[in-house]
Amino acid sequence: MRLSWDIFCTVIDNYGDIGICWRLARQLAQERKEPVRLWVDDLAAFARLNPAIDGSATQQHCDGVEIRHWCSPWVAVAPHAVVIEAFACNPPEAFLAAMAASQPKPVWINLDYLSAEDWVEGCHRLGSRHPRLPLTHYFFFPGFTPATGGLLREAGLLTQRAAFDQVEFLQGLGISPPQPAQPLVSLFCYDNPALPAMLQHWRLNQELTLLVADGKPRQQVEAWLERPFTVGSSIRQGRLLLHALPFLPQPDYDKLLWACDWNFVRGEDSFVRAQWAGQPLVWHIYPQDDAAHMVKLEAFMHRYSETLAAPAADSLRAFWRAWNHGDGKACSAAWPALAAHGPALRQQALRWCAQQTERPDLMQQLAAFATEKSTLPQ
């Protein structure tokens, strides 16, 4: 069944939400060859993520996707067959009214946040009637088990990873490949009080090359250095070599994760991409009120480390907890054990990646669900 898609996205925190929506929209257009219209409220942020985007255009096309500026006043359009609101971003009332007046009515899906918590399986695919309009709103949860919606993964992604040339990629960034005994680590995080202690620990104790993402990570490293750390610069501090990366578009960021021995990632989009990289990772989860994010962190750590030997699993949990609590002293104490278990954690990363690849990806599951609901009487 041929479908068409509206995807609504609000840019809440940097680039995570739009990063996920853009990957999904592009995959639908390129792999299913179906019409996709992506509504974005902050085109300037989108343009930084994808330099091909015109941040001032109200309507444009890129990679087969129609991109509209989600602005006020709303411009009336006929809804597509499937409407995805990403992360409960609430489409305009006028658009909901147009959905209610459509025959047949669109399949309306709230694409929710990723979580490994047990309750997600019970809520995945559930519907809720709109309080006023004749519309049903379905909840769709990405996840790590067969009872959830899977993860975003483009066709051929792992084949591209297998053919990846690390040396060529690093040279393109002006970076010489490190020696085998000198781990290559990517750093992408929220502001983290633990980072200065980790930088000091590495400076004194370990030969390590740190590739620092632009934005908050680079600014925090610059504050620690107490000197300029501009994009493209390299600075040695004791045993630690620092490189300030330019802002990388999504395809290049994926390659960065493939190139590194360890990946510090944050939020949801880079977290998922690090899992496809098949390398050891450290996750800085998005902080929430009342420490609700720590429940999500514990749920994922439990699933991810189930098949790990106890010492490696314990080292992972200890460092991840310390990193997410912003406890620099605990991070410095926990890092040597985590680093020592690097080979076991890399094998686990590859096992986990293969296990997740066995299931249909998020786009495929969304399309199957929308097709199923489109054929039901309304």
Please give the positions annotated as active site: 17, 268
Residues 6+ apart with CB under 8 A from 355: none
- Report CA 287 to chain centroid distance, whole Å: 15
Q: Rounded distance, CA 37 to CA 25, Å?
A: 8
Please tell me whether residue 24 adopts helix, strand or coil conformation.
Answer: helix
For residues 45 and 15, the answer to whether their CB atoms sit within 8 Å is: yes
Q: How far apart are the first and last CA of the chain?
A: 17
- Amino acid of residue 113: Y
CB 315 within 8 A of CB 333: no
Of 215, 249, 187, 193, the residue nearest 14 (C-alpha)? 215
Residue given tokens 């597509």 in the structure block: 80
Is residue 134 within 8 Å of 127, Cβ to Cβ? no
